């Protein structure tokens, strides 16, 4: 059902008309740059879809990037936009809760799209299990979610909203907050969707 929902959204509208669209993911980029990642840093963009984050990171010579999304149509849009540069990205179709992720295979885990849709505790527990399996200890998470001031639904689906304190607490004692940001996102249709972001360091399992 989840795959069909997002596939339908990307097939029904141009990317620039979708509610989560931003021409550039400025806040994400700022927090990733805060880490001064080496060229070989391994980054996973969870729910990356058709976003332009890959474009900007490729321009900054980040060469080991994986974009994961449940929608093949979303990834096809991004690949077409990038042209030959798309070959420098590993594009994976799948649900972050289910896909097989190699242990310690990433240094940076970025998510602006998926976590706030996990309204059930068991889903968030599974997400964290996948994260702590795939992220190298000492690696970092850049996570953006809807803040308490945001609408209770996105794209017709319920979402979980967070304060910064709640967001950090959701990741637990294995993670240390390094920096936070707020973002006043406005959808192409004019709806305000305030975000809260956290840059976290993954210490290890407690």
Give me Rg for the CA atoms of the chain: 16
CB 65 within 8 A of CB 43: yes
Under CATH, what is the fold of the domain 2-176? Answer: Rossmann fold (3.40.50)
Quote the DSSP letter at residue 162: B
Tell the residue number behind the tokens 């006043």, with chain if given.
184
Domain ranges, ordered by start, for the chain? 2-176
For residue range 126-185, what is the model confidence (pLDDT) as tens digits? 999 999 999 999 999 999 999 999 888 877 889 999 999 999 999 999 999 999 999 887
User: Which pairing describes strands 157-158 and 153-154: parallel, antiparallel, or unpaired?
Assistant: antiparallel
DSSP-assigned states of every residue in 47-97 = T-TT-SHHHHHHHTT--EEEEEES-HHHHHHHHHHHGGGGGGEEEEES-TT
Q: pTM of whole model > 0.85? A: yes
For residue range 92-127, what is the model confidence (pLDDT) as tens digits? 999 999 999 999 999 999 999 999 999 999 999 999
Q: How far apart are CA 90 and CA 174, in angstroms?
A: 28
């Amino acid at each position: 059902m989840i795959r069909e929902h997002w596939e339908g959204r990307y097939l029904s509208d141009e990317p620039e008309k979708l509610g989560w669209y931003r021409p550039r993911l400025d806040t994400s980029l700022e927090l990733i740059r805060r880490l001064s990642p080496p060229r070989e840093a391994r980054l996973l963009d969870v729910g990356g879809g058709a976003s332009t984050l890959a474009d900007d990171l490729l321009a900054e010579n980040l060469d080991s990037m994986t974009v994961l999304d449940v929608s093949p149509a979303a990834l096809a849009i991004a690949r077409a936009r990038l042209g030959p540069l798309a070959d420098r990205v590993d594009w994976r179709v799948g649900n972050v809760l289910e896909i097989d992720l190699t242990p310690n295979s990433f240094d940076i885990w970025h998510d602006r799209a998926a976590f706030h849709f996990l309204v059930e505790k068991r889903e968030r527990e599974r997400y964290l299990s996948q994260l702590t399996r795939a992220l190298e200890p000492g690696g970092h998470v850049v996570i953006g979610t809807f803040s308490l001031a945001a609408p209770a639904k996105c794209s017709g689906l319920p979402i979980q909203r967070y304060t910064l304190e709640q967001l950090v607490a959701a990741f637990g004692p294995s993670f240390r907050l390094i920096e936070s940001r707020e973002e006043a996102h406005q959808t192409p249709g004019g709806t305000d969707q305030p975000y809260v972001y956290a840059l976290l360091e993954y210490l290890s399992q407690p």
